[in-house]
């Protein structure tokens, strides 16, 4: 096998509690994260040597700073693999959205290279590389909803009973024409500390209450304390979410550090009307897509 075409899913933070700042400057968190069916597509073609990349979106940097190429080099070193590959990315996940597109692309590259190279690394080996590339990379190796802790390096599958309450749920993902810089969002939280953080014990208690209540719907899990700094600066976000609550009885939230938001869709949800309303509020360039949780 000389080439492989693989999906590269977006992710949603259904529950995100930033619990405090660490002595190394990073932040601790407790989060429930799930991939969705919507995402990018990565084609990997083996070459004799070297790694190269192209993308249909000219805005994406495809130099050595790209996580796909970083993942390829890290895989080659870890697996003592001397081959090369060319990556072709069809980009659908919007950038600056908090949907994990770059991390997902990197993990897709890891899995594809491992398969093309004859699977020299097991899941633990791939997870070790993914954890070095970025906090979100490891979650995409699981293939379903996970609980993330620490900086995001502690990744555990969501208990199966709880995962079944989420899997297959229809969801609308929508993003305004602007993005939010993740580093800026964390700096804002640090500046407002300690009020901006949710103590770890309280975050675990909230999550534990949802996990133990088998009748609690996915909507009861939703939480994100990174909304506060984003909503203070980008007033278009809370205005739109409040409109969706009052006009369509949805429970919309922001994903990650934003600017993408999402809402679970009831069976009778008027998706076209909701989409039109979002674009009335955010302009015709607003990104909107319907998908399902994996």
**pLDDT 10s digits, 67-93:** 999 999 999 999 999 999 999 999 999
Indicate if 28 belongs to the active site.
no
Closest by CA position to 294, among listed 103, 85, 94, 146 = 146
Give me the pLDDT at residue 268, please.
Answer: 95
- The verdict on residue 218 lying in a domain is no
Q: Is residue 178 predicted with pLDDT exceeding 90?
A: yes
Specify whether the CB–CB gap between 263 and 172 falls below 8 A: yes
Question: Burial of 283 by CB count in 10 Å (0-12 exposed, 13-18 middle, 19+ buried)?
Answer: exposed
- The verdict on residue 213 lying in a domain is no
Indicate if 136 belongs to the active site.
yes
Range(s) of the domain holding residue 188: 167-201+226-292
Same domain for 52 and 100, yes or no, is yes
Query: What is the pTM assigned to this prediction?
Result: 0.94
The share of the chain scoring above pLDDT 90, in percent, equals: 93
For residues 18-31, give the mean pLDDT. 94
| Count: domains in the chain | 2
Same domain for 175 and 286, yes or no, is yes
Count of CB atoms situated within 10 Å of the CB of 88? 16
Q: Is residue 151 predicted with pLDDT exceeding 90?
A: no
Distance CA 246, CA 263 (A): 13
Active-site option among 11, 70, 91, 175: 11
Question: Burial of 279 by CB count in 10 Å (0-12 exposed, 13-18 middle, 19+ buried)?
Answer: middle
Give me the pLDDT at residue 135, please.
Answer: 79
Active-site option among 28, 40, 136, 175: 136
């Amino acid at each position: 096998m000389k080439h492989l075409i693989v999906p590269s899913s977006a992710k949603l933070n259904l529950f995100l509690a930033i619990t405090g700042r660490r002595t190394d400057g990073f932040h601790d968190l407790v989060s429930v994260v799930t991939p969705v069916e919507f995402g990018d597509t990565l084609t990997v073609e083996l070459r004799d040597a070297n790694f190269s990349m192209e993308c249909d979106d000219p805005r994406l940097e495809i130099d050595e700073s790209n996580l796909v190429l970083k993942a390829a080099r890290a895989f080659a070193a870890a697996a003592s693999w001397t081959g090369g590959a060319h990556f072709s990315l069809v980009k659908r996940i919007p950038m600056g959205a908090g949907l994990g597109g770059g991390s997902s692309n990197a993990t897709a590259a890891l899995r594809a290279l491992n398969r093309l190279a004859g699977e020299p690394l097991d899941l633990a080996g791939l997870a070790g590389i993914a954890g070095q590339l970025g906090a979100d990379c490891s979650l995409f190796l699981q293939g379903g909803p996970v609980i993330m802790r620490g900086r995001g390096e502690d990744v555990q599958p969501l208990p199966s009973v709880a995962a079944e309450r989420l899997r297959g749920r229809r969801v609308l993902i929508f993003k305004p024409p602007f993005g939010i810089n993740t580093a800026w969002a964390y700096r804002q939280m640090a500046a407002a500390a300690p009020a901006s953080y949710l103590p770890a014990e309280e975050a675990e208690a909230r999550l534990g209450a949802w996990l133990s209540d088998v009748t609690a719907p996915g909507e009861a899990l939703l939480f994100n304390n990174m909304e506060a700094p984003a909503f203070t600066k980008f007033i278009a976000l809370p205005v739109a979410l409040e409109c969706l609550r009052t006009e369509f009885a949805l429970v919309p939230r922001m994903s990650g550090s934003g600017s993408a938001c999402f809402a679970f869709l009831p069976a009778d949800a008027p998706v076209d009307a909701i989409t039109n309303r979002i674009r009335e509020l955010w302009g015709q360039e607003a990104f909107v897509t319907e998908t399902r949780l994996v």
